[in-house]
Structure 1
Amino acid sequence: MSLQALIGNFALILFILLIVTGVVWCFDRFTLAPKRRLNAEAILRDFDAKSHPDSGERARLEADLLRQPAWVEYTGSFFPVIALVFILRSFLFEPFKIPSGSMLPTLFVGDFILVNKFTYGIRLPILDKKIISMNEPQRGDVMVFKYPKDPSQNYIKRIVGIPGDLVVYKDKKLTVNGVQSEYEGMPDFLHEGSQLSYSKQLNEKTPALTHRILNDEDRSPAVYMFGEADFPFADQCTYDADGVSCKVPQGHYFMMGDNRDNSQDSRYWGFVPDQNVVGKAFFIWMNFSDIKRIGSFQ
């Protein structure tokens, strides 16, 4: 693993810190601390035998004798905190920050979200091996996953196709297993920033749920690959001037961003294997630019 990949793998860094601080904490608790206690008791017995009346001096002496070495204090003392963070982050909830606008209008750049790590099953940290199966990812879920072309990066998109589905996205309309989504016009979406712009906003109604999407009317519906598709199971997809059609292989998912014409997703880099699943995004816990965004989302 390269240094850059290691730095990008926060879970691995946290695990290494957990091991290091845990070893120091255990070594101090079960080896060094008992030795300090025995040494302190011997010195204090000698101190008491001399009948010193100053109890404050005795207390200071005892505290000095039992004090942890600096290297233990500044290493092992972090173990309980790191252990708690590791358990919460690995098995329950993990925070992420939205880096791009590919999920507009559902998620904004700068949204801090929480991801449910256990709803799709319990996985071993670092190895990402599922050990307990629970719910399966469903169409319409907003899911965080490891980017298939670079697993050190986390991506977030919406599931539009589950194993066995035939996903067709033609003329900017989504059809899954022969059922086309229904679309309802909404007021244009305003992109705030250095240059104000608008996008066409629609309600996309699928059998799973209704949510908002964006379309860029100036963009062609064609998916430009600039060559042949080079992802696993690429032979399950066909491309033409109207869009793309893909049969989702077993153990994989077809992902798309809600900002349909401004999202690099499964149309371009292929299917997401089950072992790349991180969890289901469900809550915005902070956006420092707009605290009104705090809350759940579809």
Structure 2
Amino acid sequence: NFFKKITIFKMKNIKKKEENIGILLAMIFSFITHTYIVQPFVIPTSSMERTLLVGDFLLVSKIHYGLRMPISPIYIPFTHNNIIGNIKSYISIFQWPYFRFSSIQSVQRNDIVVFNFPKDHNHKIIDRKDHYIKRCVGLPGDLISIKKGILFVNSKKERSFLEKQQAYFIKTENIPLNVEYLEKEMDVKDIEYIGEKNNEHFYQIMLNEKKAVDIKNLFENIIFIKKYILPIHFKEHYIFPNHFDWNRDFFGPLHIPKKGEFIKLNPKNIHIYNEIFNYEKVEKIDIVSKKYYKVKNNYYFMMGDNRHNSSDSRYWGFVPEDHIVGKPIFIWMSIDWDRKSPINIFSWKFRWDRMMKTIDGKHSYLSLFFLFSFVYIIYFLFKSEKSSTQ
């Protein structure tokens, strides 16, 4: 009995060590995957609606556009820039130089891209800046302009897509809009009630063209519904680059800098490229004495699909190539939560039609997910039964 007890004790210790090693290996594997291959992200704002919805959980590939090696190597695993509040999760004293491996594919026009926000002044290290996700509408060397809310790239009108949203101005007569129906039945979230005058009710709602047509046909008390386009002479004070009378709907033309090209500098455009000089660490004294400047990096122009509710390149400028993180692959989970109280789990609703789907919605991996889950459950039950008989 004594030797039997010792044997059982040793077997338990061996089993415990195996379990600990298994947990450690799983953590190491997860860390390597998270850092070098794919990383999960969640959509917190409506700037990309209706392509990406608030509550979409994404997997983002870090190797499609070339794996960017960590610049800040000393940090708490599975955290980004802050732990709680303003307490940083990394040490900025030691930094690796920027290095990126060769890409599987280059950034294409209209790609949805995850990148570090260039104007995040709370974090100086590139890979610790806040994450943004937008659509890349302008590549290095492109000429961007917006007229009446319509984007033109190299003088060509942008490719239309159904999910693009803009602000619509709606006026109803006698009866207000049925906001509850819009939110619950038509999944319209961004609704702003402007006010009432002479028994007429005014709203500003973010819609795509299809939703606008559906609402117009559905409510008989709507007097008119039209896109809310800012006048050409209206200047938005926070628009980039703050030296022109531009706004979100009348913007440009603006040239996007390309690596290796020479930009002819003059009093009109030098303000546009001030940020470029800062990124590339060029002394302004040296710039004043030059008529041309050779660009050292590629830059991109990003915009949200929710065109009138997006903080993007129209407001803060270009995205340098070294700020690009990766390419979203698919939505692995999607939760429709109360935007005013997202932590209220009792109000959560799973969007089953979006789970395990590619970003463009053309392909679904939900069946593979259920197959994998079924195999895992069978394996777990088999392992539990086997261990109980030993």
**TM-score range for the pair, normalised by the shorter chain length:** 0.5 to 0.7
Partner of 1:175: 152
1:201 counterpart (203, 208, 215):
208
Among 246, 271, 288, the alignment partner of 1:240 is 246
More strand by share: 1
Asked if residue 157 in structure 1 is aligned to residue 127 in structure 2, the reply is no
Report the CA distance between 1:68 and its aligned residue.
Answer: 8.1
Residue identity over aligned pairs, in percent, reads 34
Between the two proteins, the alignment pairs up a number of residues equal to: 227
Q: Distance in 1 between matches of 2:56 and 2:226?
A: 23
Deviations 1:89-118 (A, max 9, x none): 222221111101111110111011121211
Distance 1:99 1:122, change over 3 A: same
Query: Partner residue of 2:44?
Result: 99
Partners of 2:102 and 2:160 in 1: how far apart? Answer: 38
- For 1:105 and 1:153, the matched residues in 2 are separated by 22
Q: Please give the residue correspondences for 1:139-158 in structure 2 after superposition, counting only pairs within 5 Å.
A: 139-150=109-120, 151-158=128-135
State the 1:66 CA deviation. 7.0
1:59 aligns with 2:120: no
SS of 1:94 mapped into structure 2: strand
Bigger helix fraction: 1
Q: Distance in 2 between matches of 1:141 and 1:238?
A: 28
Distance 1:81 1:66, change over 3 A: closer
The reply on whether 1:257 has 2:257 as its aligned counterpart is no
Partner in structure 1 of residue 214 of structure 2: none
Task: Give the superposition deviation at 1:134.
Answer: 3.3
> Looking at CA atoms only, which structure, 1 or 2, has the larger radius of gyration?
1
Q: Write out aligned runs for 1:15-94 (5 A).
A: 54-60=2-8, 62=10, 78-94=23-39
Contact in 1 for aligned 2:235/2:246 (Cα 8 Å):
no
CA contact 1:191–1:199 (8 Å) conserved in 2: no
Q: Relative to 1, partners in 2 of residues 1:61 and 1:119: Cα closer, same or farther, differing over 3 Å?
A: closer
Shift in Å, 1:257: 0.4
Deviation of 1:131 after TM superposition, in Å, equals 2.7
Q: Distance in 2 between matches of 1:224 and 1:154?
A: 28
Q: Which runs of 5+ in 1 are unaligned?
A: 1-52, 204-214
Mark the CA change 1:228 to 1:265 in structure 2 (over 3 Å): closer, same or farther.
Answer: closer
Distance 1:200 1:221, change over 3 A: farther
Measured after TM superposition, the shift of residue 153 of structure 1 is 1.1
Superposition deviation, residue 266 in structure 1:
0.1
What secondary structure sits across from 2:353 in the alignment? helix
Cα distance in 2 between the residues matched to 1:113 and 1:296? 9
Pair 1:217 & 2:264 matched: no
Distance 1:182 1:170 in 2: 15
Q: 1:98 to 1:224 in 2, by over 3 A?
A: farther
Is the partner of 1:259 in helix, strand or coil? Answer: coil
Deviations 1:143-186 (A, max 9, x none): 11111111531111000001110011121011111112365889
Matched with 2:68 is 123
- Partners of 1:131 and 1:182 lie apart in 2 by 31
Q: Which residue in 2 is equivalent to 1:9?
A: none
- The answer as to whether partners of 2:57 and 2:332 remain within 8 angstroms in 1 is yes
